[in-house]
């Protein structure tokens, strides 16, 4: 028997990387999963990997209309939600003095506004006693070159977890934050690093991590499973760092 048997989970940014790994693990544990993302082809490929327990809805989390449409479809398919994983995110590394308004707005629109809408608009369908997992980053408490805007956005995510754990306690809904360290996912290739420099970049990052390597998406999925399942039934408002020790030592 899986840890999420008969549960309905919505996972944003579920087409690749950490989101896809979470979705795959949740399906393995018996959940029916609805993933969202901005690329229909990426979502279709993800659903093909997971089979009939998974459904995809193309949606931009920063669009209130898209989020409304996402939950309309979830309601029609399943009539309820037990788990929300607000995972969709974007990063545009740049030195403070070089950050453009477009880079600033994109990171706050998706990482903050999008996460807010994802969670707020889920509440009418979310069962009492449900679980919300907000994906932040260790950047919210650790200064990293070129990450000042991203870090501020992820600090808002950490703050939301505290506030919402308080705001939703009367419904028994647990809200927790999951903060990854560096993880080997496709997002690294979208940070503007030249392909020929990617391996050297990953090696330099790995050298800073106490465990000596980047994380794997499936390791973050295991942490998300803990927060989403009854294994963490007495846990709410926390920040669970899965970072190889980078932010801890």
pLDDT of residue 195: 74
Domain assignment present for 1: no
Within-domain flag for 38: yes
Domain count, the chain: 1
Cβ partners under 8 Å of residue 132, min gap 6: 83, 84, 85, 86, 119, 122, 126, 164, 168, 173, 174, 175, 176
CB atoms within 10 A of CB 29: 18
> Is 3 inside a domain boundary?
no
For the record, the structure tokens of 247 come out as 């932010």
| Stretch 2-11: mean pLDDT | 98
Q: Does residue 43 form part of some domain? A: yes
Q: How far from the centroid of its chain's Cα atoms is residue 171's Cα?
A: 23
Cβ(4)–Cβ(228) under 8 Å?
Answer: yes
Phi, psi of 204 (to 5 degrees): -70, -35
Q: Is the pTM of this model over 0.85?
A: yes
Quick one: pLDDT at residue 188? Answer: 63
What pLDDT, on a 0 to 100 scale, did the predictor assign at position 192? 63
| Residue pLDDT, tens place only, 48-97 | 999 999 999 999 999 999 999 999 999 999 999 999 999 999 999 999 99
In a domain, 153, yes or no: yes
CATH number at residue 131: 3.40.50.720
Give yes or no for residue 33 having a pLDDT over 70: yes
For residue 71, indicate whether it is catalytic.
no
33 and 9 in contact (C-beta within 8 Å)?
Answer: yes
Residue 190 has pLDDT above 70, yes or no: no
14: containing domain: 8-241
Q: Which of 116, 150, 160, 226 is catalytic?
A: 150
Confidence of residue 1 (pLDDT cuts 50, 70, 90): confident
Residue 45 half-sphere exposure toward CB, CA atoms < 13 A = 9
List strand residue ranges (DSSP E) for 17-121, in order. Answer: 32-37, 54-58, 81-86
Does 41 have pLDDT greater than 70?
Answer: yes
The answer to whether position 164 is within a domain reads yes
> Quick one: pLDDT at residue 198?
73
């Amino acid at each position: 028997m899986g840890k999420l048997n008969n549960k309905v989970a919505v996972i944003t940014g579920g087409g690749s990387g950490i989101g896809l790994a979470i979705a795959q693990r949740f399906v393995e544990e018996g959940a029916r999963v609805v993933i969202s993302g901005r690329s229909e082809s990426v979502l279709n490929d993800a659903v093909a990997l997971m089979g009939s327990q998974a459904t995809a809805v193309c949606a931009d989390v920063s669009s209130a209309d898209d989020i409304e449409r996402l939950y309309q479809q979830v309601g029609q398919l399943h009539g309820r939600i037990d788990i929300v994983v607000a995972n969709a995110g974007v990063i545009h590394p740049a030195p403070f003095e070089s950050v453009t308004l477009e880079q600033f707005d994109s990171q706050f629109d998706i990482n903050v506004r999008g996460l807010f809408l994802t969670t707020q608009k889920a509440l009418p369908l979310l069962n009492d006693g449900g679980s919300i997992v907000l994906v932040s980053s260790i950047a919210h408490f650790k200064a990293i070159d070129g990450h000042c805007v991203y870090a501020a956005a992820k600090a808002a995510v950490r703050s939301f977890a505290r506030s919402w754990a308080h705001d939703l306690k009367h419904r028994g809904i647990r809200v927790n934050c999951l903060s990854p360290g560096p993880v080997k996912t496709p997002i690294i290739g979208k940070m503007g690093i030249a392909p020929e420099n990617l391996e050297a970049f990953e090696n330099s990052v790995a050298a800073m991590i106490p465990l000596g390597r980047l994380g794997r998406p499936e390791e973050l999925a295991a942490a998300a499973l803990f927060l989403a399942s009854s294994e963490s039934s007495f846990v709410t408002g926390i920040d669970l760092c899965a970072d190889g020790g980078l932010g801890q030592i």
